[in-house]
């Protein structure tokens, strides 16, 4: 079993839709949770960063962490064609000198105009 | 603006060649990482380094080595390239928050 599971999609939605992207994980010791966005032929860029459980909002994006269920989500409101990308979840343990992240395999999102 | 720069965007190499992939960061980060990214497999960690001249194996180190002689530069070496090493290679650096990635090098081994 992988440490982090993510539905690969592809997920296709119309412009303006609310998008929900999800990951589950098995290691209850994970404390830091991130979402990366990766456009085609580019490196991933950090989108959201959260610590422990709860919600964090940044513009049209909301990251949600439920540690009791080992489940994290990224919501995109009023989705735009420019949101079309692969979204990767990532997480790591508390502390540690190397800050090594464990990544999901990514979900490919297409927002249709 | 902070940057991680990978020297090549696209490379085509022959089987058996020794290949060097270079990565430079300008953020004075201690931690640097090399990943490869393949469809359906996601990002897999090859090697990482948390200080100059220090290196640790990741999940798939076989067939690769690394060098970190200066803090800002982390090199990935394919000792004898093989076709199964055709992939997108991503370098990253970090402090406490998430990683900053380079744009990637798409390597094709023929």
In sign, the C-alpha dihedral spanning B93, A106, A18, A41 is positive
The parent domain of residue A80 ranges over 4-97
What residue of B is the nearest CA neighbor of A46? Answer: B98
DSSP structure class, residue A15: T
Identify the CA nearest to B33 among candidates B8, B1, B6.
Answer: B6
B51 or B83, greater pLDDT: B83
Task: Work out how many domains chain A is built from and give that number.
Answer: 1
What are the structure tokens assigned to A11, written together? 């997920």
Q: What is the mean pLDDT of chain A?
A: 91
For residues A110 and A59, what is the distance between their CA atoms, to the nearest angstrom? 20
Using a 10 angstrom Cβ sphere, with 0-12 exposed, 13-18 middle and 19 or more buried, the burial of residue A21 is buried
The mean pLDDT value for B49-66 works out to 93
A82 touching B (Cβ < 8 Å): no
Which of A41, A44, A106 comes nearest B101 by C-beta?
A44
A window 47-66, beta carbon within 8 A of B = 49
A64 to each of A18, A52, B81, how far by Cα in Å? 15, 10, 42
pLDDT tens digits, A64-109:
999 999 999 999 999 999 999 999 999 988 765 556 889 999 999 9
* Closest approach of B13 to chain A, Cα-based (Å): 19
pLDDT in tens, A28-73: 889 899 999 999 989 999 999 998 888 999 999 999 999 999 999 9
Mapping DSSP to helix (H, G, I), strand (E, B) and coil, where does residue B83 land? helix
Dihedral pair phi/psi, residue B90, rounded to 5°: -120, 130
Report residue B22's pLDDT band, with 50, 70 and 90 as the boundaries.
very high
CA A107 to chain centre: 9
Residue A8 has pLDDT above 90, yes or no: no
Whether the CB of B7 is below 8 Å from some CB of chain A: the reply is no
β-partners of residue A13 are A111
Q: Is residue A105 part of a domain?
A: no
Whether A107 is covered by a domain: the verdict is no
- Whether B41 has a pLDDT exceeding 90, the answer reads no
Per-residue pLDDT at B78: 97
Q: Are A34 and A89 in contact (CB under 8 A)?
A: yes
pLDDT of residue A93: 81
A104 falls within a domain:
no
pLDDT of residue B93: 92
Q: CB-based contact (8 Å) between B4 and chain A?
A: yes
Nearest to B20 by CA among B74, B100, B62: B74
pLDDT above 60 (res B44)? yes
In a domain, A89, yes or no: yes
Q: CATH number of the domain at A10, please.
A: 2.60.40.10
Nearest to A46 among B31, B40, B98 (CB): B98
- A102: in domain: no
Question: Does residue B2 surpass a pLDDT of 80?
Answer: no
Examine the pLDDT at A110 and tell me if it is beyond 90: yes
Residue B1 confidence (pLDDT): 64
- Minimal Cα–Cα distance from A14 to chain B, Å? 25
In order of A56, A86, A110, B57, B106, the CA distances from B3 in angstroms are: 26, 21, 28, 24, 19
Of A19 and B40, the one with more pLDDT: A19
Provide the CA B41 distance to its chain's centre, in angstroms.
17
Note whether A31 contacts B: Cβ–Cβ < 8 A: no
For chain B, domain boundaries? 4-109
User: Which CATH number is correct for B4-109, 3.40.1400.10, 3.40.50.700, 2.70.98.50, 2.60.40.10?
Assistant: 2.60.40.10
> Which residues contact residue A27 at a Cβ distance below 8 angstroms, ignoring those fewer than 6 apart?
A3, A93, A102
Q: Is A105 on the interface with B (CB under 8 A)?
A: yes
Q: Is residue A78 part of a domain?
A: yes
């Amino acid at each position: 079993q992988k440490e982090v599971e993510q539905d690969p999609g592809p997920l296709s939605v119309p412009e303006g839709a609310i998008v929900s992207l999800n990951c589950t994980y098995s290691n209850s010791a994970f404390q830091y949770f991130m979402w990366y966005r990766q456009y085609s032929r580019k490196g991933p860029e950090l989108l959201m960063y959260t610590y422990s459980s709860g919600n964090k909002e940044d513009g049209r994006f909301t990251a949600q962490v439920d540690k009791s269920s080992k489940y994290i989500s990224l919501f995109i409101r009023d989705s735009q064609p420019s949101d079309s990308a692969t979204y990767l979840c990532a997480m790591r343990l508390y502390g540690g000198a190397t800050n090594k992240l464990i990544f999901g395999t990514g979900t490919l999102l297409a927002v249709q105009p | 603006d902070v940057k991680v720069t990978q020297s090549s965007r696209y490379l085509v190499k022959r089987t058996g060649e020794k290949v060097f992939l270079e990565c430079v960061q300008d953020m004075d980060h201690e931690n640097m990482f090399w990943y490869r990214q393949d469809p359906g497999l996601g990002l897999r960690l090859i090697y990482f380094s948390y200080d100059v001249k220090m290196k640790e194996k990741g999940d798939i180190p076989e067939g690769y080595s690394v060098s970190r002689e200066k803090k800002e530069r982390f090199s990935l070496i394919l000792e004898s390239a093989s076709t199964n090493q055709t992939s997108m290679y991503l370098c990253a650096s970090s402090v406490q928050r998430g990683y900053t990635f380079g744009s990637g090098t798409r390597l094709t081994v023929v």
